[in-house]
Amino acid sequence: MENKVALVTGAAGGIGEAVVRVLAERGAIVAALDRDELRLNDVVDRMKAEGLTVRAFAVDVTSSNEVEAVVAQVEEDLGPLDYLVNAAGVLRLSEATVLTDADWALTFAVNTTGVFFVSRAVVNRMVTRCRGAVVTVASNAAGTARVEMSAYAASKAAATMFTKCLGLEVARYGIRCNLVAPGSTDTPMLAAMFQPGGPGPAASIRGNADAYRVGIPLGRLAAPRNVADAVVFLLSDQAAHITMHDLTVDGGAALGV
C-alpha cells in the first residue's frame, strides 16, 4: 500500500480513526474526513507526530456539495484516490413506534445517503482510471434484528445493498466494493449505549434474553483495530478477487448468519 492514496470518512474516532492508522502504517497517504474538525485535527496531529502521512479534511457527508468539493480537493492535494472507506456513522436508539422524525432522518442522512454521496464522488473518478477499491463499514445489525435499533439497522442494510449494487456496476472497470460488518466494538458509539451505573460492556458480552441478544461467543468486544484490519485486508491486493462481499467481524454475535 506504499504511496497509495486513501480517503476515510468518520476519521475522528472509533473505527474510522483505526482504519486511518492502519492504512498510514502500511505506507498509504490518507485523507482523514470528519465533521468534527477539532477532534479530527487532534487525531491527525497525533499521527503526524508519529511520522504518518495523514491530512485532515473537514466535511459533512450529508451535503452533496461539500462532498464533491472535498473529494476534488483531496485529489488535487494528494493525488488520484486508490481507496475509499465509508466509516462515518451515527446511532440513535429508540423503539420504532416512538422514534422521532429527526432521528430517523439523521440516521439515514449519515449512514446511507452519506455513503451514496461519498461513493459516487470517489468512484466516478476511479472509473476513469479503471482501478480502485471501496469498503463500507456496515453492521451485523444490517442482517440481525435488534431492539431499539430499527433506524440504525435499516440504514446499514440500505448501505450494504447500495455498496453491493455499486460493486456489480463497476466491476467491469476493475473496481472492487466490499463491506465489513462489525458487531459490538469498543468505541465511543458503543459506550454511549450504556446507562451510567449499568452493566456496561459486560451486557454486550453476556447477552440479554429480554432483548433477544445472544451475546458474543468469543467473550470480548472487538477492538477498533480488529475491524480496521478486516477493512484493510479487503482493500489490499490480497483480496484482489473479492468483491460484493460482506465480512462480519463480531466475535460470533450473529451466529454466523
Q: Which of 83, 152, 173, 212 is catalytic?
A: 152
Pairing outcome for strands 175-182 and 132-137: parallel
Taking residue 242's Cβ as centre, other Cβ atoms within 10 Å add up to: 15
Active site residue 152: yes
Sequence-separated (6 or more) residues with CB below 8 Å from residue 256: 248
Element (H, E) at 104: helix 101-108
Q: Kindly state the cell numbers that stand for 177.
A: 466494493
Phi/psi for 94 (5° steps) reads -175, 145
Catalytic residue numbers read: 152
